[in-house]
Structure formats: C-alpha cells, structure tokens
C-alpha cells in the first residue's frame, strides 16, 4: 500500500533535480580584484539576455564589453574592475526584480544595458530612483528617453532615424516604385514599419501584420505579389524575416527584401537560405567591426565573430572604464561623468544630450551577399 | 474582394498548410480515441522528425547544388528516417511518461501533467543541445548540429517549387500537390490499416471498450504502443512534408503546430481518423481566408472562433467521434 | 465498522493519523492559534531573510510577491479544476483581463486611483468568465480544454493587436496602491551567521514604491487570507457540494436535480474573480503590463501547479504554486536548465505522486472507504477458504 513515503521521495526527487548543486548568485565574470589605491574593486553590471531565445544579442554585447574590460584590466593589473552579469533573458518581467537586486548592491556603480527596449522601459524608473547610471548599447525605442530619467543614456541611434534612413534608401538608392510594408506586431517591429510607411508615403502599395513565431506566410506572399511591389520592408526579427524572405522567393516574387537591426543576424540567412537572402538590405544604427576589432574579439569570444551590438558593448564599457581611470568611484560621479562625456569610440563620437540620446547618429546599411552579411556602409538619415 | 480575386491561391495553399496539420492531428486523435488522453507531447514527436530530416540531409551531404534526382533520393531517405525517429520518440514517450500512469489508472489530468513535463524535456533537449554537447565534451565534431541551439536550423538543400498547372488565379506547384496528395494517401493507408488488419481491429476494440477487449484476448499494452507508434509514424511523414514546404525548424517548432493540430483534431471529431484530416484541411483554409479577410494578425483568433462555432452546432466535431464506435 | 477498519488497517491508519489528522483533531482555539502564528510568520518572512530560504541574486520580497500571486491564481484555478472538475487550459486570460483593466483605467484611458480600479478589474474578469462559460460549458469535458486554451490565446492575441489596449508595447505607468508611511521596520541580517538587526536595510510600513517590494507582498498576503476564508465558506456550502457532485458524475448529479450547467458557470465566474484579482495585484506592483506576460505557457504552469499540489485541496495547490514560483528563483544559476528540470520534475511527480503533494481530504476519505470495502471482501474470502 502506498503510504506517506512517496511524498517525501517524490518531493526530494523533484527538489533534487533542481537542487543538483548549491544556489549561485548573479554570476560574476572577469578577474577578481587586487587591492591598491585609486578606484579599485569597482563593479559594473550588465543586464540583458544571456540565455534563452535572444541570447545571441546579449552575448554579442557582453563580449564586446568584456573585450574592453580585458584590455583595461591588463593595463591596470593592480587595480582591476569587475563586470557582473545579470541575465534577464530579455524579459521585462525577469528584469524588474533583477534591477531591484542590482540597485541595492552598493558596490555596483554603473550599468551596461539593459539590452532590450521592453526591459529598459520596465526598469528605468528603478535605476532613476536609485541614481544608478545606465547606458544601453542596443535599446532603440525612441520613447525611452522621454520619461525624464536622468540616468538613461543610449549609445546608438533610435528607430526614428533608422526608419527615416531606411525609407530614404528604399526611395532613392533602390529607386523602388512600389513598396509593401510588413510588421510583426511587436513593439519594435510595428514602430519601425510605421515610420518607414509614413516616410514612404505614396510608394506604399500595401501592408500586412504577421505574428511572432508564425511559420507560414502564404496569404502575405499572395498579398505582396498582388500589389506588384518591387521592394518590401519588414519590421521585426530575424526568425520570421528568414521564413518570409524564403517564402516570398518560393512564391516567385522578385523584389528586394529590406529590414532593420532586428534582422541583422546570421539567423536570417539560416532561415531564408542563402539564395533567398542574397540581395537583402539590412539597416542598423550599429557600426560594423573592422578587422583589428574582429581579431581581438575572436580571442575573447571563443572564436565567434563580432555580431550586432558588439562594438556598442565595447564602447559602453569603455565610457565607464575611462571614468575609473580618472578616479571616479561613486554612483554620483559616474552619472556626472557620463552626462558630460564627449569623446570618440570605435563606433562614433560619443556625446549625450539632455535626454540621454546621442547628439550624432549614423545609420548603416548591410548587404547580404554570397550567403553572408557584408560590412555595413553608412547611409544618411533624415 | 481580395479573397475572391485570389480564391484559388488562398484555398490551395491553405489545403497544403492544412495537410500538415491533419497528419499531425492523426496522432492526437488516435491516442485520444484509445486512451482518452490528450498527448500533449505529440508536438515534440513531430519536432524530432523535422530535425531528423535536416540532419539526415546534412549527413548525406546535401548542398544547394545537389541535382534534383539526388535531392529526391535524399528526401526519400529522410522520410524513412524521420518516420523511424518520430515513431521511436513516440514509443519512448509512451513507455516513460504514460505507461506507469495508465497501469495505475491515474486520473486523466495527471497524465496530462506528465505529458506536459515530457513535452518540456523533449523540447529543451533539442533547445539546449549545444550546452549538453559541451557538457559531454562532444562539440568539436558535431558543431554544425549543435551550434545556436535555440535558433532556426535550415535545410542544406534547396527545394524550388515548380509550377504544374494553372487554376484560375493560381499556378499550383509540385510541392503543393505533393503535400496534399501525400497527406491524403497516408490518411487512407492508416484508415485502411485500422479497418482491415488484425491489430487495427484491436485498436478499435480497445477504443470501444478496454475491459471487453482484454477479455477477448487483446493485449492492451501492445495496442497502446501500436497507437503511439502509428501516430509517431504519421508525425514523421508530416515532418518531412513540413520541411519540404517551410524548410526551417526550431526546438519550439512543435509547440504552436501542436496546438493547431489538436484544434484540428477536435474540429474534425476527436477519435475520428478522417475527421483529423478534414479538421486539418478546414483549419488551414480557414486561417488563409481569415488572413485575407481580416488581416494576418487575426488568423488564429479566426481559427479558435471557428472551433467554438463548430462545437456549438456539432458538439462532437464535424465528423463526430468514431474510433470507439462500432462502425469504422 | 470503524473498529474493523482501525483494527486490520492499523498500520496505514497509524501513518495517516500522523500530521494531517493530528492537526485536524486539535481543538478549535488551538487550530486558530496555529493559523495566527503561521500568518504572522508569513508576514514577517521577508524581514527575517532566513539564510537558506532567501534568494541570492534577486530581490527576496519580489520573489515572495510572485509566490503570493501564483498562490492566489492557484486558489482560483482550484475552484475551476479542483472543485468543479473543469479542465481550464486558458486561465491566464482572466489574469490578463484583471491586469489590463487596472492598466486601462489607471493609465491608458483614465486616471482612476488604483483601489477603485480593483473592483472593476474583478467585475470585468467575472464577466469574461461568464462570457466564456456560457457557450462552452455545454461542451464535453475534454473539449473544454482546447476551447479554454483557445480563449486564452484569443485574449492574448487581442491584446497584442489592439492599439486601444496598447498593442505589443503594453501599458506603462500603472497606478500603485496608495501609500501611508507610518513607521520603519528593519530587516534581519545573517551575514555573520548570527541574526542581527540591520537598520541599514529597512522597509517602510507602508510605502508602495519601486525599490522595496515587500509592502506589495503584504498586500497580496492579506488578499490570500481573505480569499481563503471565502473559499472555505463556499466549499462547505451547498455550492461546494454541488460542484463535488458534478465533478464525480455529471449525469448522476443532473438526475439528482443539481443544475450542473449553472453551477459550472458559477465555478467559472468565481475562478475568474480570483484570477482577475491576482492580475490586478500583479499590475499594481509591476507598474506596466504587456501581452508577453500572458502566454499560453503560463496557463499550463498554473494547471501544473494545481495538479502537482493536489487539485481540490486549497493548501495543496498553494504548495504547488509556491514550488512553481519559488524554486526557479531560488536556483537562479540554472537559468538555462530550468524548463527542462521543471518538465522532468512534472513527470516524476505525476508518476510517483499522482494524487498531488497534498491530496484533498475527500480523496483520503474515499481511499479509506475503499480500504474498508476491500477488507470486507477479503474477509469473505477468508471465510470462503475456511468454509
């Protein structure tokens, strides 16, 4: 007869599965500190997706940051800096308690991130109240800087100039006569597609909204073909973009596929197949990595090439590290430093205006050729 | 109106879409017919089939420049392997997650929980294969198979649809025909097997009345295994057709498709084999028409509302339940 | 009859007389005292910050709040699944409706204060429960699963694609519960191995701010206690008995004159009530809502929590919810493996403890009755062998 025993056995089994080792904390990366003068034992935090479905983007940026950190720590072996990683999986719900925890740790004086616009929106108030300076290398929603958060800073252009530049590119460089605009109903995709649609005006021959995680785009392909468009703008991410591009080609559509930074990832080519992806244009407010950066990056990333936002991650960390080199050690000092920063990084001249936006923004266009994403060239924005 | 101007294109592509739903729905409907259990993990059985297809093609050396004859040969091999893999996963599922519960006569809800757990485990094994391979120290040789585990994996060969015949506004492609006809063929084969063969009669017997079937000498464990196996084989076939059509798979590719397929099974009449395919086709076409009429973002809402409507007017689905009835 | 049972079933009866029966056998004032103590401990828990229970790497108060909200959800779902026996795979819809009603009223399209938005949220959730139930509860049990699943998805898709509801971006700047700052309470600090009162880490009673989440947890806990009272009242009433009858055998219940459809609808409405309430609490703490928080996966998680905990037993489902909410946060180092381990745990628990961690009392009673019957049958076999 089964008795009370199985409860505990089963509960232990269940707990044991999860309890397989002791609990760990937020996870530390980089080397431990050695005591010395100046500002030592300082900690910075990174928040973004390090695991889960969007891990690629977070890993790109954190590796860029680690590259900068590595260089600094080598030069300052007696007084190193620590970067602590907080994995939010890009989810605003997971990010909020992490932010609270992060903010209550007084050793942390600056944040690289958060990566995604959703989580930045959710946690901005927390960082603002705690006066912890944040610089995001990737969140592109323009509304983020309109909340009056003194601590918010963004090291790349928003979707406003990106959309404007993309529309201009389609109109002038591609000289398209009719454009079909598709968005994926996500906050990012919808905004960007809306901006492009507005700027293209009469050129828009039709629109459609797909959903994330969708795999079959039959009706959309039908609509695109029926509209006679010779270019298509897709606002969304690479998973759906790849499938859409593939099905468009299979359906016999011959136009140019154009999209934004959410699609700028090798996953797009994997999903679309090289022949459907070739010829696509992908815009991004992020700068391409040059050869020397790529080489140094590969050493620290275990052989992977730099990806989207790697250079921005690098620059962000450097802004902080330069502050440390100048002897800044408190949260108030860091905030002040970033607010008044004006110097050149690998990506651009970095200077933030009152609301935390860059005063100078460049949009790049990346072309897909031979099954690979080619380095981007700057295109002018509005 | 757009729907009428492109009626045949939307309908025929909808039928192709629905054929895949229907084949996967067969698995749901059979297990439900025999055990009154919702096999939540059937979606992962399908997903493993899709990966079997892709990896077989990699191993066979498929590239975008492989000749048409070569591609067809490789696809046939993939079909066999996918069916074997899906069938195997289905049997494993039955053994680990279901049999202990069936033997203890556990409540159906508990079996559902077990199935949900199995579904998570199966999906995450694929979704974390990079980390698992790393932990086992295997990743050097099999990098291509385990890198970027949570992203999409595409087909190494290129399958370009060829136009075959023109119907009013749409040129039907060879792939459309292949998918629709294959699904019909598979369904007929399974249907005939259930009707004619001895084991098929056993399935119907257990579906109708498990205790009497046992009294008549039917080995219910074998029958349950066979049911799962048949569902798995169909899912493997569906996986091959899916990869031919869509060409890309992910560790979570099964989830949404599974929900749709289960919806299709219920629409057609849960426990009814023909109903599974009919439900699938209806669902596929409804999605496409819904997209055309209201917009692609609402297509799933259309599908679910259609389900509720069907159940309101025909509470046992379009073709009614039948696996457990004396006919068919 | 009872003496025979205790005589021959003495070993199992002994075990069963252990924790549960001893607790229920206590005199009323003692039981009340225990409950009050337990409640006080629960309120004090985030302040005590006990060393192994507290969550490193993430805010303990926040985690406790999530646990509390999940417990509330589990209580609501328990009414639908556990008491009335209706398989609902779309419960997240009510949770979402509650949260979004608060969001729309306090931020997007209005300026209502938070406390006034709560009754509206609950009301709208109940209406949606009735709207879902009316056409679908006539459908057979297992079909209800896919229909409720569909409803959950319809709600989410509507949220994603409707600009009036904020679309995928969601709604931010939701009003928080009103604060009355009375006094400050310090936490305990265990860093040195000995509990020390730490005035550096304090909680203001009661300020609903952004940095300290403990007051939200207290609010949620209070709501749980109230819901528990209501739950007990309803379960012990005629309504609860009708649910039990419907669950066990719907046709027999109808024959006995129970209007099963009406009671099933009532179960849906009550479940929706509690679900909406939890959603409203969630929105108040989070300060923003987006459709991403209301995925199908969450519905499945809720059902798993209820079944694993012991469907039909309000304490069991609370334990299930606590496990589902707490364990992933406690063992954060396993971020990647969480889902897989959770799945494995579900399989193990389903196979080895199908009745749930804390099965409902009736199950225990029913099992004892089955045992009595078995003993009676065995008795006749012995006589048969002898004679």
Chain B residues with CB under 8 Å of C354 CB are 101, 104, 106-107, 110
Evaluate whether C46 touches C217 at the Cβ level (below 8 Å).
yes
Nearest to B289 by CA among B1, B11, B75, B5: B11
pLDDT score recorded for residue B143: 73
* Radius of gyration from C-alpha coordinates of chain B: 20
Nearest to A365 by CA among A279, A266, A268, A240: A279
The pLDDT of residue C6 is above 70: no
Assigned token pair, A181: 């605009």
For residue C150, how far is the Cα from the chain centroid? 22
What CA–CA distance (Å, rounded) separates B148 from A108? 31
Q: Where are the domains of chain C?
A: 31-306
What CA–CA distance (Å, rounded) separates B101 from B131? 31
Per the domain annotation, does A8 fall within a domain? no
β-pairing, A363-369 with A372-373? antiparallel
Between A10-19, A195-204, C101-110, C341-350, the lowest mean confidence (pLDDT) is in A10-19
Say yes or no: B169 contacts chain A, CB-CB below 8 A.
Answer: no
Domains of chain B: residue spans and CATH: 2-153+164-313 (1.10.3470)
Residues A32 and A153 in one domain: yes
Is the Cβ pair A101, C58 closer than 8 Å? Answer: yes
Predicted confidence band of residue B243 (pLDDT cuts 50, 70, 90): very high
Residues A211 and A134 in one domain: no
- pLDDT, greater one: C365 or B280: B280
- pLDDT, greater one: A205 or B312: A205
Evaluate whether A78 touches A91 at the Cβ level (below 8 Å).
no
pLDDT score recorded for residue C4: 42
| A217, A223, A267 ranked by CB distance to B152: nearest | A267
Say yes or no: C12 contacts chain A, CB-CB below 8 A.
Answer: yes
Q: Is B192 exposed, middle or buried (0-12, 13-18, 19+ CB in 10 A)?
A: exposed
**Coarse DSSP helix, strand, coil percentages of chain A, rounded to the nearest 5 percent:** 45, 20, 35
What CA–CA distance (Å, rounded) separates A313 from A61? 4
Q: What pLDDT, in 10s, does the model give residues C254-296?
A: 898 888 899 999 999 999 999 999 999 999 998 889 898 899 9
Say yes or no: C36 contacts chain B, CB-CB below 8 A.
Answer: no
Average pLDDT, chain B: 89
pLDDT score recorded for residue A19: 39
Q: What pLDDT, in 10s, does the model give residues A109-157?
A: 999 989 988 889 889 989 998 999 999 999 988 988 998 899 999 999 8
Say yes or no: B150 contacts chain A, CB-CB below 8 A.
Answer: yes
| A53, A209, A226 ranked by CB distance to B150: nearest | A53
pLDDT score recorded for residue A195: 94
What CA–CA distance (Å, rounded) separates B273 from B23? 10
Per the domain annotation, does A11 fall within a domain? no
> What are the phi and psi torsion angles at A168 (to 5°)?
-60, -40
Assigned token pair, B7: 């009626």
| B97, B303, B305 ranked by CB distance to C347: nearest | B97
| C87, C149, C336 ranked by CB distance to B109: nearest | C87
pLDDT score recorded for residue A101: 84
Best mean pLDDT range from A29-38, B134-143, C185-194: C185-194
pLDDT score recorded for residue A30: 37
Q: Which residue has the tokens 């485990």?
A: B121
Evaluate whether C174 touches C289 at the Cβ level (below 8 Å).
yes
Q: Is A131 exposed, middle or buried (0-12, 13-18, 19+ CB in 10 A)?
A: middle
Q: What pLDDT, in 10s, does the model give residues B71-102?
A: 899 999 999 999 999 999 999 999 999 999 98
Evaluate whether A313 touches A60 at the Cβ level (below 8 Å).
yes
DSSP state of B17: H
The angle subtended at Cα B80 by Cα B78 and Cα B82, nearest 5°, is: 65
Predicted confidence band of residue C350 (pLDDT cuts 50, 70, 90): very high
Is the Cβ pair B256, A213 closer than 8 Å? Answer: yes
The angle subtended at Cα C202 by Cα C197 and Cα C206, nearest 5°, is: 130
Nearest to A223 by CA among B3, C162, B11: B3
The pLDDT of residue B10 is above 70: yes
- Nearest chain C residue to B270 by CA: give it: C143
3-state secondary structure at position B66: coil
3-state secondary structure chain C: CHHHHHHHCHHHHHHHCCHHHHHHHCCHHHHHHHHHHHHHHHHHHHHHCCCCCCCCCCCHHHHHHHHHHHHHHHHHHHHHHHHCCCCCCCCHHHHHHHHHHHHHHHHHCCCCCHHHHHHHHHHHHHHHHHHHHHHHCCCCHHHHHHHHHHHHHHHHHHHHHCHHHCHHHCECCCCCCCCCCCEEEEEEECCCCCCEEEEEEEEEECCCCCCCCHHHHHHHHHHHHHHHHHHHHHHCCHHHHHHHHHHHCHHHHHHCCCCHHHHHHHHHHHHHHHHHHHHHHHHHHHCCECHHHCCHHHHHHHHHHHHHHCCCCHHHHHHHHHHHHHHHHHCHHHHHHHHHHHHHHHHHHHHHCCCCCCCCHHHHHHHHHHHHHHHHHHHHHHHHHHC
pLDDT score recorded for residue A24: 30
Q: What is the ipTM of this complex?
A: 0.90
Is the Cβ pair C333, A186 closer than 8 Å? Answer: no
The pLDDT of residue C340 is above 50: yes
Say yes or no: B151 contacts chain A, CB-CB below 8 A.
Answer: yes
3-state secondary structure at position A347: coil
Say yes or no: A206 contacts chain C, CB-CB below 8 A.
Answer: no
Per the domain annotation, does A147 fall within a domain? yes
Residues A152 and A74 in one domain: yes
Q: The domain containing residue A184 runs over which residues? A: 159-284+363-379
| B10, B151, B300 ranked by CB distance to A267: nearest | B151
Residues A110 and A151 in one domain: yes
How many domains would you assign to chain A?
Answer: 2
Residues A87 and A33 in one domain: yes
What CA–CA distance (Å, rounded) separates A38 from A328? 9
Given CA atoms C199, C202, C205, C207 in this order, what sign does their dihedral have? positive
Region C147-174: mean pLDDT is: 90
Percent of chain C with pLDDT over 90: 40
Average pLDDT, chain A: 85
Region C43-50: mean pLDDT is: 86
Say yes or no: A50 contacts chain B, CB-CB below 8 A.
Answer: no
Per the domain annotation, does A15 fall within a domain? no
Evaluate whether A350 touches A315 at the Cβ level (below 8 Å).
yes
Instruction: Give the neighbours of chain B: at least 3 Cβ pairs within 8 Å.
Output: A, C
Residues A369 and A347 in one domain: no
Shortest Cα distance from C328 to chain B (angstroms)? 15
What CA–CA distance (Å, rounded) separates C208 from C202? 14
Residues A112 and A203 in one domain: no
Shortest Cα distance from C333 to chain A (angstroms)? 5
Q: Give me the CATH topology for the region C31-306.
A: ABC transporter involved in vitamin B12 uptake, BtuC (1.10.3470)
What CA–CA distance (Å, rounded) separates B43 from B23? 12
pLDDT score recorded for residue A260: 93
CB pairs under 8 A between B and C: 121
CA–CA distances in Å: residue C199 to residues A130, A373, C185, C202 = 18, 56, 8, 6
Q: What pLDDT, in 10s, does the model give residues C99-146?
A: 999 999 998 888 899 999 999 999 999 999 999 888 888 877 778 888
CATH number at residue A151: 3.40.50.2300
């Amino acid at each position: 007869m089964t008795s009370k025993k199985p409860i505990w056995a089963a509960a232990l089994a269940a707990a044991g599965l999860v309890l397989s080792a002791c609990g760990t904390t937020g996870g530390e990366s980089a080397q431990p500190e050695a005591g010395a003068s100046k500002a030592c034992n300082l900690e910075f935090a990174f928040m973004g997706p390090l695991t889960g479905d969007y891990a690629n983007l977070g890993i790109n940026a954190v590796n860029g940051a680690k590259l900068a950190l590595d260089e600094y720590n080598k030069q300052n072996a007696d007084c190193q800096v620590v970067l602590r990683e907080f994995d939010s999986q890009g989810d605003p719900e997971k990010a909020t308690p992490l932010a609270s925890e992060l903010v209550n740790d007084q050793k942390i004086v600056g944040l690289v991130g958060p990566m995604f616009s959703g989580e930045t929106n959710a946690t901005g108030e927390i960082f603002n109240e705690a006066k912890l300076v944040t610089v995001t290398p990737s969140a592109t929603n323009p509304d983020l800087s309109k909340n009056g958060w003194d601590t918010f800073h963004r090291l790349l252009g928003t979707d406003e100039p990106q959309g404007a530049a993309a529309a201009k590119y389609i109109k002038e460089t591609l000289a398209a006569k009719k454009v079909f605009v598709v968005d994926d109903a996500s906050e990012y995709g919808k905004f960007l597609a809306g901006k492009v649609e507005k700027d293209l005006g009469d050129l828009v021959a039709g629109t459609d909204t797909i959903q994330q995680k969708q795999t079959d785009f039959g009706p959309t392909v039908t609509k695109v073909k029926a509209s006679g468009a010779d270019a298509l703008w897709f606002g969304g991410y690479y998973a759906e973009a790849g499938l859409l591009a593939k099905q468009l080609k299979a359906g016999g559509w011959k136009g140019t596929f154009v999209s934004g930074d959410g699609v700028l990832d090798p996953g797009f080519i994997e999903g679309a197949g090289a022949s459907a992806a070739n010829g696509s244009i992908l815009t991004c407010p992020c700068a391409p990595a040059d050869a020397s950066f790529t080489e140094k990056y590969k050493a620290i990333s275990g052989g992977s090439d730099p990806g989207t936002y790697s250079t921005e991650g690098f620059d962000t960390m450097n802004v902080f590290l330069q502050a440390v080199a100048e002897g800044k050690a408190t949260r108030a000092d860091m905030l002040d430093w970033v607010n008044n920063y004006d110097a050149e990084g690998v990506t651009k001249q970095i200077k933030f205006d009152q609301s935390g936006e860059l005063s100078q923004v460049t949009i790049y266009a990346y072309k897909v050729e031979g099954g690979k994403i080619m380095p981007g060239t700057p295109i002018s924005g509005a | 109106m757009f729907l009428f101007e492109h009626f045949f294109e939307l309908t025929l592509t909808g039928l192709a879409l629905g054929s895949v739903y229907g084949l996967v729905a067969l698995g749901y409907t059979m297990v439900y017919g025999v055990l009154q259990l919702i096999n939540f993990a059937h979606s992962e059985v399908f997903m493993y089939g899709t990966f079997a297809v892709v990896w077989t093609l990699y191993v066979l050396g498929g590239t975008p420049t492989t000749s048409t004859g070569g591609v067809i040969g490789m696809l046939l091999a993939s079909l066999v392997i996918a069916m074997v893999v899906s069938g195997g996963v289905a049997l494993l599922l039955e053994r680990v997650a279901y049999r202990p519960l069936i033997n203890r006569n556990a409540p159906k809800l508990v079996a559902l929980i077990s199935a949900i757990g199995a579904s998570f485990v199966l999906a995450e094994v694929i979704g974390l294969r990079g980390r698992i391979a790393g932990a086992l120290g295997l990743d050097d040789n099999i990098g291509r198979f385990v890198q970027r585990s949570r992203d999409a994996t595409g087909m190494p060969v290129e399958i370009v649809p060829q136009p075959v015949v023109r119907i009013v506004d749409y040129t039907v492609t060879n792939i459309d025909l292949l998918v629709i006809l294959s699904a019909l063929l598979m369904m007929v084969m399974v249907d005939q097997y259930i009707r004619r063969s001895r084991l098929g009669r056993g399935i119907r017997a257990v579906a109708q009345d498990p205790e009497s079937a046992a009294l008549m000498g039917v080995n219910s464990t074998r029958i349950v295994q066979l049911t799962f196996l048949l569902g798995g084989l169909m899912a493997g076939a569906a996986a091959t057709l899916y990869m031919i059509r869509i060409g890309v798979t992910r560790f979570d590719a099964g989830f949404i498709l599974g929900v749709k397929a289960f919806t299709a099974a219920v629409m057609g009449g849960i426990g009814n084999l023909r109903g599974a395919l009919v439900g699938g086709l209806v669902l596929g076409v409804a999605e496409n028409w819904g997209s055309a009429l209201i917009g692609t973002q609402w297509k799933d809402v259309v599908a679910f509302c259609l389900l509720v409507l069907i159940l309101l007017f025909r509470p046992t689905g379009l073709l009614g339940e039948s696996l457990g009835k004396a006919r068919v | 009859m009872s003496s025979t049972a205790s005589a021959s079933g003495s070993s199992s009866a002994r075990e069963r007389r252990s924790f549960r029966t001893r607790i229920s056998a206590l005199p009323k004032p003692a039981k009340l005292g225990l409950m009050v103590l337990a409640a006080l401990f629960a309120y004090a828990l985030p302040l005590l910050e006990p060393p192994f229970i507290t969550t490193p790497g993430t805010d303990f108060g926040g985690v406790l709040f999530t646990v509390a909200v999940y417990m509330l959800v589990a209580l609501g779902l328990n009414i639908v699944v556990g008491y009335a026996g209706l398989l609902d795979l779309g419960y997240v819809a009510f949770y979402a409706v509650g949260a979004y009603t608060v969001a729309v009223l306090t931020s997007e399209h209005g300026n209502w204060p938070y406390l006034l938005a709560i009754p509206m949220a609950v009301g709208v959730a109940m209406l949606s429960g009735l709207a879902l139930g009316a056409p679908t509860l006539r459908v057979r049990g297992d079909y209800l699963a896919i229909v409720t699943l569909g409803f959950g998805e319809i709600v989410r898709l509507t949220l994603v694609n409707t600009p009036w509801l904020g679309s995928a971006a969601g709604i931010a700047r939701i009003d928080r519960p009103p604060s009355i700052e009375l006094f400050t309470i310090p936490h305990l600090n265990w860093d040195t191995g000995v509990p020390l009162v730490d005035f550096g880490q304090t909680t203001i009673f009661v300020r609903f701010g952004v940095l300290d989440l403990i007051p939200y947890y207290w609010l949620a806990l209070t709501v749980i206690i109230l819901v528990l009272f209501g739950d007990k009242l309803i379960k012990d009433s005629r309504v609860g008995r009708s649910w039990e009858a419907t669950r066990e055998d719907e046709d027999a219940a109808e024959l006995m004159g129970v209007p099963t459809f009406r009671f099933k609808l009532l179960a849906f409405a009550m479940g929706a009530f509690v679900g909406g309430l939890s959603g409203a609490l969630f929105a108040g703490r989070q300060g923003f809502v987006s459709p991403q928080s209301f995925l199908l996966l969450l519905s499945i998680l809720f059902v798993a929590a209820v079944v694993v905990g012991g469907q039909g037993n309000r304490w069991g489902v609370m334990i299930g919810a606590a496990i589902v909410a707490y364990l992933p946060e406690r063992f954060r180092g396993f971020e990647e493996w969480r889902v897989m381990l959770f799945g494995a745990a579900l399989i193990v628990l389903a196979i080895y403890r199908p009745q749930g961690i804390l099965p409902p009392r009736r199950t225990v009673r029913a099992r004892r009755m089955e045992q009595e019957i078995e003993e009676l049958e065995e008795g006749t076999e012995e006589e048969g062998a002898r004679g």
